[in-house]
Amino acid sequence: MNAVEPLVRRTPARRKARELATTLRRERPDYVYLKELFRQLRVELGIAIPRTPERLPYVPSEEEIRRYYQTVWRTRRLGDLVLIKTLLYTGVRVSELVAIPTGRRRLRPLPDPHQRGQRPKGSRRSVPARVQRDPGVTR
């Protein structure tokens, strides 16, 4: 209700719904009809649907990004370094990275999940895992 409009005594919603139901019952309305009816009613009464503005995602500043990369590159925990570099360099999703079994330490060709059923039975297509030696990581 706008502050400019005088206070109007309204019929309780439940009672108004019964009145409308009595009027509409003989037409046997369905959901789609009622949805369109109330859309047209809002247009007729000039009632706008209140919308919340869409929030944009947070974008870190250049200083925050620089500090992040410095922290990642200077870590002493090799496991964390490998995990974060894998995320940054491969574009793998976090859920996919977490799903990789921890026992898999050697990089070897992996079966391509998108080629299932398109090759003769018994033959498997594998995707080679490219390993590029990073001078910052020592064994």
Please state the three-class secondary structure of 89-126 as a single string.
Answer: HHCCCHHHHHHCCCCCCCCCCEECHHHCCCCCCCCCCE
Q: pTM for the complete prediction?
A: 0.37
- If one compares 88 and 29, the residue with the highest pLDDT of the two is 29
Strands (E), the chain: 110-111, 126-127
Q: What is the mean pLDDT of residues 91-115?
A: 66
Please say if the pLDDT value at position 139 is more than 50: no
Q: What is the pLDDT of residues 53-101, one digit of tens each?
A: 888 888 889 999 889 888 888 888 887 788 888 887 777 788 877 777 7
